[in-house]
A and B are shown apart, each in its own frame.
Chain A
């Protein structure tokens, strides 16, 4: 115990003396949390909207005004013909073209039915999908109002009954994307810092030659490893704390669930990440190699974690792979506990998988750490 305690003490001294690393460990993640949470949004705004109005009636202008009034669309141009509109889209000047046909108002009055042409730049597929939803919503709204205005009194009796859905968004009533993103980005930062620090720490001792000196001492493997990793486990929990404070103070994210449960899960989760870090440093000789390998795993884990894109929409084989992704579980647990107030029994499946992962990774790491070549 005394030896482990002394190594931990030594490790902390070195961390706090490293004037280059200290700000990176604590300041950078927080700046990232603030910037990323504000920037990584799923809302599509400032859509460049253009239209071709062949009808040219007050009715068609009213439709265009609806788009102009929307906070999502910026009216950028009116084109006299489809050809010019298409070339503008090719240049990337417009995202959406709305084509209002000739006799738009008349046809609608006569046949109670008409067509509108909508062209969307779909290079970014998910943005195009969202834009389509916005456009449909505006047109439907317009249609509903128009029917009331254009209806004859005699029609009222024959009017079909409308079914209206009233949606209520649970756990995030205002559909604030920050509520969704902040817990995820917090996960990202805690993982990133602890993985990189632990991955490079033992390699650094290899590089400066101190590992060889340590290896000729009677120190036990487990003493050395626990002594080396405990400080990073602590740093991970400190980062979580600072992140939660920022989430509450700056983003006003509701923290519905139990803080104790969050810390309990995170403390087990960090063991997985530290195990991976140690495993990486056992198989690398320089900090540069360790950095690249850690980065590779980090990118794969992150993109497949459900942080940005839902796991459910991935292909089946990819969904199987995400079963091995510890970050996925952490993201799920953080969102569940923070936003839904999940209890331990709710997160039990994730917890058991994470625990199993921790045991396997640390087992492999200890096994592959050799004092003799």
Chain B
């Protein structure tokens, strides 16, 4: 059993953080919660890791109920909060040893599980955790979350504020952990990371909008999407917004993604329109949608 959540709702005073959230994570699955800041991802994590009671609904983690059986959950899950929350004034080794001890185990006992990750920060084991770089902090936090060999691993925005190279490495580590049979629930605001998950849930304003594999979600994208570039991006967006047939216009990297209201779209017509607006170096290409495009479509 991985994770099973049914109709979870949670409000804080007058803010509704989660509305009827239901989803399943299979054992050994790498499941992603994708959504912008404030979507309710962290609240959901806190409920599933027994730090917070839901107002409504129930959930099980590793087969244990989050309310009745919270003691067993705490023995069997690893949690890495969004904010770095290890002791900054203790060294790398002391932090790891501390968490090993309070879980009633030792570093040696589960060393094989964390070896690949810990070996990268081992040269700095006498350094205080507060003095580590962002990427190294993440590795230490992950090591600490894994030291008791959890069945389910919760990672709340593990790559926020981490450089692209470390992010890539981090996801490779997750894939390897998954192969060791650990169920992983990871949240991220980065859409590009979504494609690395087995399945994802797109979450916005406390509601899950879609759950599927990344490929299926992309396959269901209803529109043809066009990648448009021009010399002046700001003017380009303004002109496209003026164009009467536009359905959606939003910046995507260095270009603009555009969809049209009509099923039959003539790119030459748009090209001429943009030329008439004195835009230079205009290029229009059909492109493959990404998770980000799906998300923009869903939140429209």
Contacts A6-B101, A10-B90 given: A213-B79 contact, CB under 8 Å?
yes
B211 CB, nearest partner CB in chain A, Å: 25
Q: Does B247 sit within 8 A of A, measured CB to CB?
A: no
Q: Is the CB of A10 within 8 A of B53?
A: no
Q: Does B87 sit within 8 A of A, measured CB to CB?
A: yes
Cα–Cα, bound, A371→B87 (Å): 19
Q: Is the CB of B89 within 8 A of A14?
A: yes
Q: Does B222 sit within 8 A of A, measured CB to CB?
A: no
User: CB-CB contacts of A213-225 with B at 8 A, as 1s and 0s?
Assistant: 1111111000000
Q: Which residues of B contact A210 (CB under 8 A)?
A: 85-87
Q: Is the CB of A218 within 8 A of B51?
A: no
Cα–Cα, bound, A216→B52 (Å): 11
Q: Is the CB of B89 within 8 A of A373?
A: no
Contacts A3-B102, A372-B70 given: A216-B85 contact, CB under 8 Å?
no
User: CB-CB contacts of B238-257 with A at 8 A, as 1s and 0s?
Assistant: 00000000000000000000
Q: Is the CB of A209 within 8 A of B83?
A: yes
Q: Is the CB of A218 within 8 A of B94?
A: no
Cα–Cα, bound, A372→B51 (Å): 5
Closest to A2 in B: B101
A226-265 residues with Cβ-Cβ distance < 8 A to B are none
Residue of A10, A208, A209, A373 touching B52 (CB-CB under 8 A): A373
Interface residues of B toward A: which range? 20 to 34
Contacts A213-B81, A215-B51, A218-B104 given: A13-B99 contact, CB under 8 Å?
no
Cα–Cα, bound, A203→B68 (Å): 28
Q: Is the CB of B90 within 8 A of A208?
A: no
User: CB-CB contacts of A79-108 with B at 8 A, as 1s and 0s?
Assistant: 000000000000000000000000000000
Cα–Cα, bound, A210→B88 (Å): 10
Q: Is the CB of A208 within 8 A of B53?
A: no
User: CB-CB contacts of A1-44 with B at 8 A, as 1s and 0s?
Assistant: 01100110010011001100000000000000000000000000
Cα–Cα, bound, A216→B156 (Å): 14
Q: Is the CB of B50 within 8 A of A13?
A: no
User: CB-CB contacts of B207-244 with A at 8 A, as 1s and 0s?
Assistant: 00000000000000000000000000000000000000
Q: Is the CB of A218 within 8 A of B74?
A: yes
B73-103 residues with Cβ-Cβ distance < 8 A to A are 74-75, 77, 79, 81, 83-90, 94, 98-99, 101-103
Cα–Cα, bound, A78→B52 (Å): 78
Q: Does B143 sit within 8 A of A, measured CB to CB?
A: no
Residue of B50, B53, B81, B87 touching A14 (CB-CB under 8 A): B87
B15 CB, nearest partner CB in chain A, Å: 15
Closest to B98 in A: A10
Residue of B85, B87, B103 touching A217 (CB-CB under 8 A): B103
Q: Which residues of A contact B50 (CB under 8 A)?
A: 216, 371-372
Residue of B70, B85, B94 touching A212 (CB-CB under 8 A): B85
Q: Which residues of B contact A371 (CB under 8 A)?
A: 50-51
Contacts A18-B89, A217-B74 given: A6-B52 contact, CB under 8 Å?
no
Q: Which residues of A contact B103 (CB under 8 A)?
A: 217-218
Cα–Cα, bound, A214→B75 (Å): 12
Q: Is the CB of A212 within 8 A of B81?
A: yes
Q: Does B9 sit within 8 A of A, measured CB to CB?
A: no
Q: Which residues of B contact A10 (CB under 8 A)?
A: 87, 90, 94, 98
Closest to A224 in B: B102
B208 CB, nearest partner CB in chain A, Å: 23
A373 CB, nearest partner CB in chain B, Å: 5
Contacts A10-B90, A13-B90, A212-B85 given: A217-B102 contact, CB under 8 Å?
yes
Q: Is the CB of A209 within 8 A of B81?
A: yes
Q: Which residues of B contact A14 (CB under 8 A)?
A: 87, 89-90
Residue of A3, A17, A18, A216 touching B101 (CB-CB under 8 A): A3
Q: Is the CB of A209 within 8 A of B104?
A: no
Cα–Cα, bound, A7→B97 (Å): 11
A329 CB, nearest partner CB in chain B, Å: 36
Q: Is the CB of B88 within 8 A of A208?
A: yes
Closest to B72 in A: A218
Cα–Cα, bound, A215→B85 (Å): 12
A181 CB, nearest partner CB in chain B, Å: 38
Q: Which residues of B contact A218 (CB under 8 A)?
A: 71, 74-75, 102-104
Q: Which residues of A contact B188 (CB under 8 A)?
A: none
Q: Does B187 sit within 8 A of A, measured CB to CB?
A: no
Q: Does B49 sit within 8 A of A, measured CB to CB?
A: yes
Closest to A208 in B: B85
Cα–Cα, bound, A14→B130 (Å): 13
Contacts A3-B102, A3-B104, A6-B101 given: A209-B85 contact, CB under 8 Å?
yes
A203 CB, nearest partner CB in chain B, Å: 15
Q: Which residues of A contact B79 (CB under 8 A)?
A: 213, 216
Residue of B70, B85, B89 touching A213 (CB-CB under 8 A): B85
Q: Is the CB of A373 within 8 A of B81?
A: no
Q: Which residues of B contact A6 (CB under 8 A)?
A: 98, 101-102
**Complex A-B: 29 CB contacts under 8 Å:** A2-B101, A6-B102, A7-B102, A10-B90, A10-B94, A10-B98, A13-B89, A13-B90, A14-B89, A18-B89, A208-B88, A209-B81, A210-B85, A212-B85, A213-B79, A213-B144, A216-B51, A217-B99, A218-B75, A218-B102, A218-B104, A219-B102, A371-B50, A371-B51, A372-B51, A372-B52, A372-B53, A373-B51, A373-B53
Top 3 A-B pairs ranked by shortest CB distance? A209-B85, A6-B101, A216-B79
Given contacts A3-B104, A213-B144, 9 further A-B contacts (CB under 8 A): A10-B98, A14-B90, A209-B81, A210-B85, A212-B81, A213-B86, A216-B50, A217-B99, A371-B50
